[in-house]
Structure 1
Amino acid sequence: MARTRNKPQREQPSSSIDSDVLPPSQMSTTTGQWTTLTASDPPLRDRPAQEDANNPYFMGTGDHPGLILASPPLKDTNFQQWARDFKLSVGVKNKIGFLTRTIPQPSSDHHLFDPLSRCNQMVMSWIIHPVSPEIKSSIIYLDSAAVMWTELNTRFNQGNEPRIFDLRTPLILLHQGDDFVSAYFTKLKAIWDEINELRPRTPCTCAAANDSLELQNLEQVLQFLTGLNESYHVVRPQVLLLDPFPSIYKKISTIVQEERLRKIRPLATTNLIAASTSNPPSLPPSRTKKMRPTCSHCQKPGHLKEKCYFIHGFPPGYGTKNVNNKPTVHPVTASVLPSPELGSQAAI
C-alpha cells in the first residue's frame, strides 16, 4: 500500500495584524461628526492601515511637516484661490477627511489612535506653512486640522458678493496694453473662473442651459475684443461677423494668429534691408582710388616707416627749395680788377 503523506497546514495570518485596520463601516460621511472606535470593534480588512495606500492613515515617503501644498501664501484677499489649491493637494494625499471631520475618532486605547494623531498633526503643519505670518500666529495653537480649517473659513470666507464686486472692478478696467494677446486673455480667464466659482450653481439639463452658456460665451468674447489694442480694429468686425458664432477659444486662436503674422512681416522687411546694405555694389578696379600709405612713426601720409626721414635723416637741401615760395638769394663775392685807364684797382 502506498503511503499517504500529510501536507503541512499553512499558517493563517495572526489576528494582531488584522486588528491594525480601519473599519470603513463606521466612517461617518454625512453628519460631519467624529465616529468613536473602541478596541473591541472587529477588523474588516487583512492589511494594516499604515501600509494601505488607499487608507487615510497612510503616509508616503514624500510626506513631511514642511511640505508647501499651496502658493502663494494665504492673505486677507486670496482665500478662494488658496483654499481651492490646498484642497486639491490634500485630496490627492487622501487627507481631505481630516479637514471635513469624516475620519473616525478612535478612543485613546484604540490601536488607531496614534496613527490618527500623527496624520492630524501632519495636516496641521500643512495648513500653517502656506499662510502669512500674521494668520499663522492666530491658528497655531488650535487643537486639530479640522478646527484650523473651520477657523479659516469662518474668518475669510465671509460671502461671495463682496468678492465678486472686487473682481468686477479690475475686469472692467482690464486692457491689453503692452501684454501679448495670450497673456491678456490669461488675466481675463482667471477673473472669469473665480467669478463663476463664487456664483451659486443651479443644476439644469434643459435647452435653457445651452442658451445660458451661449450668452456667457458672447459676453466674454465682447469683453475680450473691447480690451484689445486699437491696432486690432480691422480684426474685430471680421471676428464678430463669423456665423455660426464660435467659442471664445476659437476667437483667441484667430487673434493670436494675426499677432504672429504681424511679427513675421517686420522681420522679413528688416532682413531685406540688411541684405541690401551688407553687400554694396563694388566699383570697377580702374575707378577705385588707391589709398596712400601712412607712416606709423610720424603719422604723415605718403611714406612708410622704413623710409621716414625723421628716423633715417633728411637728404641734403631738403626743405630749402620752396620756403615761403621765395627764390633763394646767393651772396656775391667782390673781386678786384685792374683799370688800364686809372692805373689803379677798382672794386666790381
Structure 2
Amino acid sequence: MAGQITTQNPIQDPGSPYFLHPNENPGVVLVSPILDGRNYHSWARAMTMALDTKNKVEFINGSLPKPPLHDPLSSLWSRCNNLVISWLNKSIDPSILPSILWMETAFEIWKDLRERYHQGDMFRISQLLREIYTVRQGNLSIDAY
C-alpha cells in the first residue's frame, strides 16, 4: 500500500469545489448587506470571502468551467453552480435580480455585475480622494489639527 495514490470522490472531499456540506442550501444569504448597486466593492469582497470559505469561488472567477456533458463531473458542476447562483440571487436587491435571473452560470452573473457596478463605485472613490487631497490643516500643527 505504501506509495499508492488513492483518488477520493470529489463530493466527499471537503477540499473539493464539488463538496456540499449538509448545512449548505439555496436559501442562505451569505453576506449582508445585499448588493444594491451602490455597495458593489464591499459586497463583492464579502461574497468572494464567503464563497472562498465554502470552496466555491472557482464558480465565480471562471477557473472551473463547465465540464462537457459526457464528463462524470458535469452533473456535480451543475448542482454546485446552481447553488452558487442561488446564493448570489439571495444576496442581490430584488430590483437588480430580474436582470440576471436567466443567466446560466455563476461566472456570467459575476462578470455582468462587475461590468455594471465596478465603474460606478470608481466615481465615488475618485470623489473621496479629491476630498481627501483638499483637506487642509491651515496654520495648525498636525497635533493641534
TM-score range (shorter-chain normalised) is 0.7 to 0.9
Q: Which has the higher contact order (CA 8 A, sep 6+)?
A: 2
CA distance in 1, matches of 2:91, 2:119: 20
Is 1:131 aligned to residue 92 of structure 2? yes
* Residue correspondence of structure 1 range 193-212 to structure 2 within 5 A: none
Match of 1:56 among 17, 30, 39: 17
Report Cα offsets for 1:123-147 as digits up to 9, x if no partner: 0001111111111111111111000
State the match for 1:240 in structure 2. 143
2:37 is aligned, of 76, 80, 84, to 76
Q: In percent, how many aligned pairs have the same letter?
A: 31
* CA shift in 2, pair 1:161/1:147, >3 Å: closer
Count of matched residue positions in the alignment of Structure 1 and Structure 2: 137
Q: Go from structure 1 to structure 2 and tell me whether the alpha carbon gap of 1:133 and 1:159 turns closer, same or farther (over 3 Å shift).
A: closer
| Cα separation, partners in 2 of 1:134 and 1:45, compared to 1, 3 Å | farther
- Counterpart of 1:46 in structure 2 is 7
Q: Which amino acid aligns with 2:143?
A: L
1:29-87 CA distances to partner (integer Å, 9 max, x unpaired)?
A: xxxxxxxxxxxxxxx85210100001110011121101111111111211011101100
Mark the CA change 1:159 to 1:90 in structure 2 (over 3 Å): closer, same or farther.
Answer: same
Question: Structure 2, unaligned stretches of length 5 or more?
Answer: none
Distance in 2, Cα, partners of 1:137 & 1:161? 24
Task: Give the Cα–Cα distance (whole angstroms) in 1 for the partners of residues 37 and 115 of structure 2.
Answer: 12
Aligned partners of 1:100 and 1:161: how far apart in 2? 21
Per the alignment, residue 114 of structure 1 pairs with 75
Distance 1:110 1:161, change over 3 A: closer
In 2, distance between residues paired with 1:128 and 1:161? 24
In the other structure, the counterpart of 1:293 is: none
- Please list every run of 5 or more consecutive structure 1 residues that lacks an aligned counterpart in the other structure: 1-43, 173-218, 227-235, 242-348
Q: TM-score, normalised by structure 2?
A: 0.82
Structure 1 consecutive aligned stretches of length 4 or more whose deviation exceeds 6 Å = none
Is 1:67 the equivalent of 2:54?
Answer: no
Q: Considering only CA atoms, is the larger Rg found in Structure 1 or Structure 2?
A: 1
TM-score (norm 1): 0.36
Q: How does 1:11-22 map to 2 (within 5 A)?
A: none
- Deviations along 1:153-193, whole A, 9 cap, x unmatched? 01101266412134358x76xxxxxxxxxxxxxxxxxxxxx
